[in-house]
């Protein structure tokens, strides 16, 4: 039976996501569950002594079967490390210690210690597996079909088969599949995902259209100028892949610790076996070898392996309950090192929705002026027109007639017998209408109105700041971030204005995706600079992948940004960024507390073991006790208040 391919949007369905996760979890836990059942059964038989035949080779085989599911992967990993020249790993230590337990007849202890280790690894892997998935999942957001004109009709084909110079058709709401030149008279496109430009882009016949843009108005036709592999969207995704490859993988703490801890323990065990020969009169090799093997078993870092991920799970849970998704425990650590926050504008600190910011009427009172303007804009489907039509005006509405669109400039029509022009400055000047100089300094989108040949006023349209934008910047500063930067594809004038309003340290607008990436790469080269980038569009994906920590707005953000980011703000609130930093720092503090606790207890038990005062069961019990204390400590993260 052919398996159905799950695409990115399928995986966003909670039922499918949970089904896939549960299947993976059950498969991963089966070896540990099997070993646990076999171990408990064997211990019970040993304790109650109900089966006389459970002795000798039968008992050895029983515990060996219990050991193999959890022990073989560790032994194999240790052997692979040795072949690469890396001897002193925790895999090596676990293998020697547990095989040593079998060598001295302590079979249940050998299985129990390895089972503890395996369960700890499962906890650790569960955190790591939440990291971002294979970069190939990003391909699902690319346009997967193109309507190309062939043999007298438009047919649906794979965009990769479309050649340069062919004619394609794009319907309303669809993504443009390939770069090309507009053949239709005009077109309106949402290019925010590519450029970050908050204002929809209206173009005329012969202008360039970029793949990944969304057609907003009417069915259009395009002549392709590039192959699919060279299109804008494919180029951005390629940058994501390259940037991801440049990002170094965070090495787990236990791996680093094992490089120091393991050789020390191994050499101490060797010393414990042979050195007493020179200091003890009644030296018996077998007795000291036995004690050294117990020492090795006790030295297994089981409590460390368990206590560390438990702390991270506490942080991941606390973050999730606050609408913040970390894609792995390592990013909680990375967040604590951030000292420079770089953010996009549109969709990150602004809503990405147009609203009337200012109405300036010269010849009429405001309501009457707006009725003239609204009568004209009712004939348009442009997003700016929709923002203007949200204005509430009492009384009878005006009606526009003979409305025509002047490409790239605006509208011309008749309202109440008066000739009305609505559009940009180019429309006014082309009709010999004098525009006040005060409009020259306006950075927002501006809609000008003339009535019967006289300038009547203007309306400014702007992308609104999110409700918590000011609070977000303040909280980020209060969390200890030294520098806040804004990089945007929107006009530089608008970017600078928003930056000034939010008291951001430095800003730059008019940037293409590769420009943003270059700016962040420059920052990364500065000594001691740890960068977190916050964005939401396809154009932000390369920077999200390349930065120390990539943070995406998950509510309205693009699929590519969400898949590429390390951290997702599920509620779209920028104020949650500071909360993510606090959770990361608290998690790291608790993890180090757990490490100190586990290591301290381990040293005590090791000393007792070296003196022959502790057995392997006491070592296992000590690990369990430490793990329980670590759980209680990690639970504190769930109870903390995050303001």
Residues 438 and 477 in one domain: no
- Tokens 């569960």 belong to 126
Tokens of 304: 């460390």
Write down the pLDDT at residue 338.
92
Return the number of other C-beta atoms located less than 10 Å from residue 160's C-beta.
14
Q: Which of 374-388, 423-437, 500-514, 618-632 has the lowest mean pLDDT?
A: 618-632
Give the range with max mean pLDDT: 44-58, 68-82, 202-216, 588-602: 68-82
pLDDT band at 85 (very low <50, low <70, confident <90, very high): confident
- The 10s digit of each residue's pLDDT in 291-350 is 887 777 666 665 666 667 667 777 877 787 777 878 777 788 888 889 999 998 888 888
Contact 220, 263 (CB under 8 A): no
Write down the pLDDT at residue 323.
77
Tokens of 359: 């109405």
Looking at 226, 257, 290, the residue that finishes a domain is 226
Write down the pLDDT at residue 306.
62
Torsion of CA 319, 324, 326, 329, to 10 degrees: -10
CA atoms of 220 and 224, how far apart (whole Å): 13
Residues 394 and 491 in one domain: no
Residues 372 and 290 in one domain: no
Question: Mean pLDDT across the stretch 378-385?
Answer: 78
Domain around 205: 144-177+179-226
Contact 311, 633 (CB under 8 A): yes
Residues 215 and 170 in one domain: yes
CA atoms of 458 and 442, how far apart (whole Å): 11
Residues 503 and 521 in one domain: yes
* 20 occurs within a structural domain: no
* 63 occurs within a structural domain: no
Write down the pLDDT at residue 305.
62
The DSSP annotation for 157-189 comes to E-GGGPPTT-EEEE-TTPBP-S-EEE-SSEEEE
* 397 occurs within a structural domain: yes
pTM: 0.59
Looking at 430, 465, 500, the residue that finishes a domain is 465
Residues 643 and 566 in one domain: yes
CATH number at residue 218: 2.70.150.10
**Torsions phi, psi for 497 (to 5 deg):** -65, -45
Residues 357 and 452 in one domain: yes
* 4 occurs within a structural domain: no
Looking at 465, 497, 515, the residue that finishes a domain is 465
Chain centroid to CA 119: how far?
A: 27
* 642 occurs within a structural domain: yes
Task: Say if residue 64's pLDDT is above 90.
Answer: yes
Residues 555 and 502 in one domain: yes
Task: Say if residue 19's pLDDT is above 50.
Answer: no
The residues assigned a catalytic role are 344
Number of structural domains (the chain) is: 3
CATH number at residue 375: 3.40.1110.10
Residues 498 and 622 in one domain: yes
* 78 occurs within a structural domain: no
Write down the pLDDT at residue 223.
95
Which residue pairs, CB below 8 angstroms and at least 24 apart, start in 267-274? Answer: 268/295, 268/610, 269/293, 269/295, 269/296, 269/299, 272/610
* 95 occurs within a structural domain: no
Residues 378 and 318 in one domain: no
Question: Mean pLDDT across the stretch 24-37?
Answer: 83
Q: Which of 402-416, 512-526, 590-604 has the lowest mean pLDDT?
A: 590-604
Residues 422 and 554 in one domain: no
Pick the residue with more confidence: 337 or 539? Answer: 337
Residues 437 and 505 in one domain: no
H or E element: which one contains 214? strand 214-215
- Tokens 């293409």 belong to 512
* 123 occurs within a structural domain: no
Across-strand partners of 528? none
- The 10s digit of each residue's pLDDT in 511-527 is 888 888 999 999 988 88
């Amino acid at each position: 039976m052919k398996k159905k391919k799950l695409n990115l949007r399928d995986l966003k369905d909670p039922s499918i996501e949970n089904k896939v996760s549960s299947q993976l979890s059950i498969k991963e836990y089966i070896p540990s569950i099997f070993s646990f059942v076999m171990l408990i059964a064997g211990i019970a038989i040993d304790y109650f002594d109900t089966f006389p035949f459970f002795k000798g080779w039968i008992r050895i085989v029983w515990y060996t079967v219990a050991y193999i599911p959890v022990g073989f992967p560790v032994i194999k990993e240790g052997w692979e490390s040795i072949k690469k020249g890396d001897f002193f790993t925790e895999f090596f230590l676990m293998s020697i210690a547990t095989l040593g337990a079998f060598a001295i007849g302590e079979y249940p202890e050998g299985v129990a210690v390895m089972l503890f280790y395996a369960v700890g690894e499962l906890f650790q892997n569960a955190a790591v597996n939440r990291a971002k998935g294979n970069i190939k999942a990003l391909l699902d957001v690319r346009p997967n079909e193109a309507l190309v004109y062939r043999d007298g009709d438009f047919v649906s084909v794979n965009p990769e088969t479309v050649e340069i110079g062919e004619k394609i058709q794009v319907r309303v709401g669809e993504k443009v599949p390939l770069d090309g030149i507009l053949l239709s008279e005009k077109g309106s496109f949402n290019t925010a995902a590519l450029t970050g430009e908050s204002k929809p882009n209206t173009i005329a016949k012969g202008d360039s259209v970029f793949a990944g843009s969304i057609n907003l108005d009417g069915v259009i036709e395009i002549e392709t100028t590039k192959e699919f592999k060279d299109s804008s969207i494919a180029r951005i995704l390629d940058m994501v892949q390259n940037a991801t490859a440049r990002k170094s993988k965070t090495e787990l703490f236990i791996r680093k610790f094992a490089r120091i801890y393991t050789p020390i323990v191994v050499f101490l065990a060797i010393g414990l076996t042979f050195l007493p020969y020179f200091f003890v009169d009644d030296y018996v090799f077998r007795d000291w070898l036995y004690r050294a093997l117990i020492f090795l078993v006790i030295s297994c870092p089981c409590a460390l392996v368990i206590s560390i991920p438990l702390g991270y799970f506490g942080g991941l849970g606390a973050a999730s309950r606050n609408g913040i998704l970390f894609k792995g425990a390592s990013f909680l650590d990375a967040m604590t090192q951030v000292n420079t926050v770089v953010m996009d504008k549109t969709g990150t600190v602004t809503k990405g929705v147009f609203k009337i910011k200012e109405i300036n009427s010269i010849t009429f009172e405001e309501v009457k002026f707006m009725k003239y303007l609204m009568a004209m804009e009712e004939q348009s489907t442009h997003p700016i027109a929709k923002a203007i039509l949200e204005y509430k005006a009492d009384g009878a509405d005006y009606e526009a007639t003979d409305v025509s669109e002047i490409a790239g400039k605006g509208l011309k029509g008749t309202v109440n017998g008066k000739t009305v022009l609505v559009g940009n400055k180019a429309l006014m000047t082309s009709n010999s209408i004098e525009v006040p100089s005060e409009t020259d300094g306006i950075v927002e989108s501006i809609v000008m109105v003339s009535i019967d040949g006289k300038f009547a006023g203007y309306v400014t349209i702007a992308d609104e700041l999110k409700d918590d934008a000011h609070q977000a910047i303040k909280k980020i500063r209060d969390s200890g971030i030294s520098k806040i930067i804004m990089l945007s594809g929107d006009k530089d004038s608008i970017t600078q204005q928003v930056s000034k309003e939010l008291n951001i340290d430095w800003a730059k607008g008019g940037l293409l995706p590769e420009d943003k990436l270059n700016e962040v790469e420059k920052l990364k080269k500065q000594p001691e600079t740890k960068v977190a980038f916050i964005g939401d569009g396809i154009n932000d994906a390369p920077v999200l992948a390349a930065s120390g920590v990539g943070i995406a707005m998950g509510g309205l953000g693009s699929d590519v940004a969400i898949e590429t980011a390390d951290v997702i703000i599920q509620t779209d609130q920028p104020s949650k960024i500071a909360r993510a930093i606090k959770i990361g720092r608290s998690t790291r503090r608790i993890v180090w507390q757990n490490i100190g606790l586990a290591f301290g207890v381990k040293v005590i038990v090791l000393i007792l073991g070296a003196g022959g005062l502790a057995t392997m069961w006491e070592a296992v019990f000590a690990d369990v006790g430490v793990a329980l204390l670590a759980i209680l400590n990690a639970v504190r993260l769930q109870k903390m208040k995050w303001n």
